[in-house]
Amino acid sequence: MFGSLNLFAVGLVGEYVAKIMSEVKSRPRLIRSALIRNGKTTELLPDGKDA
């Protein structure tokens, strides 16, 4: 009985971690408001392209 409950709890934790990992994968790695190239600061538009 205890073994089956233990496996069930581990399965629930695994599902929770899998959902978190799939959500994090779709996010950008860095969020920044400016980009520095060759010593010049450029502002970035919301889509990530140079202004």
* Per-residue pLDDT at 7: 95
* Per-residue pLDDT at 19: 93
d(CA 10, CA 13): 5
pLDDT score of 3 more than 80 = yes
Q: Mean pLDDT, to the nearest integer, of 16-28? A: 87
pLDDT score of 13 more than 80 = yes
Instruction: Summarize the chain as % helix, strand, coil (round to 5).
Output: 45, 20, 35
Q: Mean pLDDT, to the nearest integer, of 20-41? A: 76
Q: Answer whether 0.75 is exceeded by the pTM.
A: no
d(CA 11, CA 2): 14
* Per-residue pLDDT at 46: 56
